Amino acid sequence: MLGTGIIKGLAETARNFIGSYTDPERLVTVEYPDQKLPAKENARNFPFLVFDGDDWEKGLRCVACQICEKECPPQCIYIEKSKDKKPDHLGKPQFYPAIFNIDVSVCMSCQICVEVCPFEAIKMDTAFELSTGDRFDALLLRKDHLAKSNDYYNSIHPTEAGEIDARRAEERAKAEAKAKADAEAKAKAAAAAVTEKPPDPTAATAQKTNPDAPSPEPPKAN
Amino acid sequence: MFETLDQIFILLKQGVLGLLPQGIRPLASCLLTVSAVFSVFGLLFAVTTLVERKALGRIQNRLGPNRVGPFGLLQPVADGIKMLTKENIVPRAADRLVHFLAPVVLIVPVALAFSVLPYGRNMVPVELDAGLLFFFAVGASTELAVFMAGWSSRNKYALLGAMRGIAQMISYEIPLVLSTLAVVMVAGTLSLPQIVSAQGGYLFGWIPQWHVLTPWGLAGFVLFLIAATAESNRAPFDLPEAESELVAGYFTEYSGFKFALFFLGEYWGLFAVSGLAVTFFLGGWHAPLPMLQWVPSWLWFFGKLLFLLSLFIWVRGTVPRLRTDQLMNYAWKFLLPLTLVNLVAAAAWHYSRSWDFPAALLWRWLACAAIIAIPYVLLGAALGGGRQKTQRIYRYAD
C-alpha cells in the first residue's frame, strides 16, 4: 500500500538515532584532531625522496636521471643535476640532484613519477596535515624537506617497501659477489703476471691475443 | 497559582504597561508583543538549527556538532557570529535594489504570520476574525521574495531554484489551504482562537476533542504536514535549494547576514506553519489529558510545536529528494483529490452529529474513515501500485 515505504524508512532512521546513543559501535566517524585513524597502506598524497642510512645527503637514492621531471604531467618537479658524482648503494659512481624541488600546489598526486622511477627513489607519502601559513615558499618543497628515510617508507607502505628492500639487497649481494670475483680474478691475473712475466713474456701475449683462452673464473652473468 | 502561571506573560505585560503614561500605551503594547514574539522565535530558530544538526548526525550515525561549548550547545552562537562577520557580496550583474529587498520581503510576511497564532490562553498578538485568511494571505507572499531573490541575482542556479520554488509553492498552496478548510467547515469559523476553543473539553472525561482524533482531522493533519513541508521547502521537497543540483537554489548569490535572513525566513515559515497545524489539529494550547491541565497553556503550545519540528527533522533525515515531475504529480494527482475527499468526509462528520443509536460515535468514526481510506487505497494503487518491478538489464556492464 502507498505509504508503507515511508514508515519503514522512518523506523530505520529511528533505529539509527536511538542506536547511536546506546551502541557506540554504530558511530563510524572519529573526532579527527583528537583521534586519528592510522593511514591506509595504499593511501597516497604527495611524493617524497627515499634515502638509505642515516645521512640523507649521502644516502639519497635519486641519481638525477630527470625521468620523473620529464614525465610529470603538471610539471611540478624541477631537478638540477650535480657536477660531481658519488657512489650509489652498489658502489657505482652516480650523479645526484643538486636541486630537487616539488611544487605541491601544482602536484596532482598522480603517482606517475613513482611509476617511472627506475631507482625506487621517489615514493608517495601518506602525510596529509600539510597546511602552512605561507602559500608561496612553503608550498615549494626542497630536497631537504622531501628526503625521508627508508625506515619511514617501510613504516607507511610496509609491503611495497619490503619487496623493494629485498630486491635491492639481492642486487647488492650480486654486485658484491661480482666485485669480489673481479677482484679475485684481477689478483690472480696479477699474481700470474708477476710469476710468469719475467721468464716468458710470450705467454702473456698469447693470452692477450687468444680471447678463447680459459679465464680463471667464468664471467658472471648479470 | 495556576492562573498566575498560565497568564504570567499577560500579567507581566499589563504590569509594564501600567507603569507607562496613558498616551504611549498602545504603541508600547505593540512593541512588547512584537519583541516577545521575535525573541522567542529567534531563540527557537537557534535551538532548532542545533537540534536539527544533532539529530541528523545521529540518524546518520555521526556525532553532530559537539565542539562549541558543552555538547556543542553554543554552536548557534558560533554560527551567528560567523554569519554576521562574513563579507556581503552582491554580484556585479545583480539588480542591487531587488537583491537587497528580497530577504526583507521574505522575513516580513513570515513575521506577520506569527501575529495571529494563539500561543496560549488569551495569548494572541492580534485577534482577527479572519485569522486564517490573513495567515494564508501573508504566507503566500513569501513566493514573491523567492522569485525576487532568484531573478535579481542574475545567476542561472538562482533563477532555476526560484522557478522551481514558485511552481512548488503554488502547487502545494492548494492542498495546504484545502486541508485546513475541513477544519473551518466543522468549526464554522476562520478565527484561530475560536478554532482552538472548539477543541477544548474532554470526551468521556479523558479523550481530548482535538481534530486530529477524528478521521477527517487525522487525514487533514497528515495532508497538511506534507503540504507544509513542501511550502517551507524542506526535504524531501527541497528542490528549490537542492544543494547537489543548484548550489543553494534561489539564495545562491547571497552571503553573510542576508543568507542568514533567508535561512531564518525559511525556519520561521516552518514554525508558523507548524503553529498553524498545532492550532488546527492538535488542539492548540489545550492539554492532552484533564489531569495535565495544571501545566501552563503556552507550554503545551510550544511543546506541540517542538514535537512537530522534530517530526519534520525526522522526515528530513529519512526521505530522499523528489524529482520535479514526481513533485508535481504528487501535488496534483494525489494530495489535491485526497484533500477534496477529506472535505466530503468532514461534511459527513458534520451532518452525522445528530446520529442517535448505540455506539453511534464508533460508527460515525468508521464511516468517515472509510470515506477517506477507500479513495486513498484506490488512488495509491492507481498511481504507484500498478507499476510492476522489472529486472533491470544492463546492456554494457558484465
* pLDDT recorded at residue A87: 83
State the total domains in chain A: 2
Give A50-93 pLDDT, tens digit per residue: 988 888 888 888 888 889 999 999 999 999 988 888 888 777 88
Instruction: Establish if B58 touches chain A: CB-CB under 8 angstroms.
Output: yes
Considering the domain architecture, whether residues A150 and A181 belong to the same structural domain is answered as no
- A161-167 contact pairs (CB < 8 A, 24+): A164/A120
Domain around B33: 9-83
What pLDDT score does B250 carry? Answer: 84
Residue A133's CATH number: 3.30.70.3270
**Segment 21-60 of chain A within 8 Å of chain B by CB:** 21, 26-29, 31
Same domain, A74 and A113: yes
CA B203 to chain centre: 28
> Percent of chain A scored above 90 by pLDDT?
14
Q: What is the largest CA-CA distance in chain B?
A: 85
* B236, closest residue in chain A (CA to CA): A6
Specify whether A73 is located in the same domain as A130.
yes
What is the rounded average pLDDT for all residues in chain A?
A: 83
* Residue B106: pLDDT over 70: yes
pLDDT at B395 over 90: no
pLDDT for the residue numbered A198: 58
**Within a domain: B288:** yes
**Residues A150 and A174 placed together within one structural domain of the fold:** no
Per-residue pLDDT, B227: 92
Answer whether residue A39 is part of any domain.
no
Kindly provide the ipTM of the predicted complex, given to two decimals. Answer: 0.78
Same domain? For B54 and B135 the reply is no
pTM: 0.77
Average pLDDT over residues B167-195: 89
Residue A81 · residue A178 · CB < 8 Å: no
In terms of domains, do A85 and A184 share one?
Answer: no
Check whether residue A55 and residue A149 sit in a common domain. yes
pLDDT tens-digit readout, A77-134: 999 988 888 888 777 888 888 899 999 889 999 999 999 988 888 999 888 888 888 8
In this structure, the answer to whether residues B220 and B314 fall within a common structural domain is yes
> Chain B: residue nearest A31 by CA?
B63
Q: Is the Cβ of A166 closer than 8 Å to some Cβ of chain B?
A: no
CA–CA separation, B114 vs B268, rounded Å?
9
To which H or E segment does residue B103 belong? helix B96-113
CA angle at B122 for the pair B117 and B127, rounded to the nearest 5°: 50
* pLDDT of A200 above 60: no
Position B135 pLDDT exceeds 80 = yes
Asked whether residue B35 falls in the same domain as residue B138, the answer is no
What pLDDT score was predicted for residue B306?
A: 92
Are both B24 and B112 inside the same structural domain? no
CB contact under 8 A, A6 and B317: no
pLDDT band at B275 (very low <50, low <70, confident <90, very high): very high
Tell me whether B387 touches chain A (CB under 8 Å): no
| A2 to B55: CB separation less than 8 angstroms, yes or no | no
In A, which residues are within 8 Å of B381 by CB distance?
Answer: 1-2
Task: Give me the domain span that covers residue A180.
Answer: 165-208
B contacts of A31 (beta carbons < 8 Å): 63, 66
Could you tell me if B35 and B111 lie in one domain? no
Q: Decide: helix, strand or coil at residue A35.
A: coil
The beta-carbon neighbor of B62 closest among A6, A14, A29 is A29
B143/B198 same-domain check = yes
Please report whether residue A68 resides in a domain.
yes
Looking at the structure, tell me whether residues B59 and B103 fall in a common domain. no
* The predicted structure's pLDDT at residue A202: 53
The stretch A194-203 carries a mean pLDDT of 59
What was the pLDDT predicted at B337?
92
**How many CA atoms lie within 13 Å of B106's alpha carbon, on the beta-carbon side?**
28
Which of A2, A10, A19 shows the shortest C-beta gap to B380? A2
If asked whether residues B271 and B348 sit together in one domain, one would say yes
Question: What's the pLDDT score for residue B5?
Answer: 77
Judge whether residue A210 has pLDDT over 60.
no
> Per-residue pLDDT for A9 more than 70?
yes
**Is residue A184 located within the same domain as residue A134?**
no
Give the mean model confidence (pLDDT) for residues B356-372. Answer: 85
Residue A217 lies in a domain: no
Average pLDDT estimate for B70-84:
88
**A134 in a structural domain:** yes
In a domain, B394, yes or no: no
pLDDT on residue A212: 52
Residue A203 lies in a domain: yes
d(CA B245, CA B255): 19
Return the residue matching grid coordinates 573526532. A31
- Yes or no, beta carbons of B59 and A3 under 8 Å apart: no
Reported in sequence order, the residue ranges of chain B that DSSP labels E, i.e. its strands, are 202-203, 207-208
Mean pLDDT of B285-293: 82
pLDDT in tens, B17-59: 888 888 888 888 888 889 989 999 999 999 999 999 999 988 9
Which is higher by pLDDT, A89 or B335? B335
Judge whether residue B341 has pLDDT over 90: yes
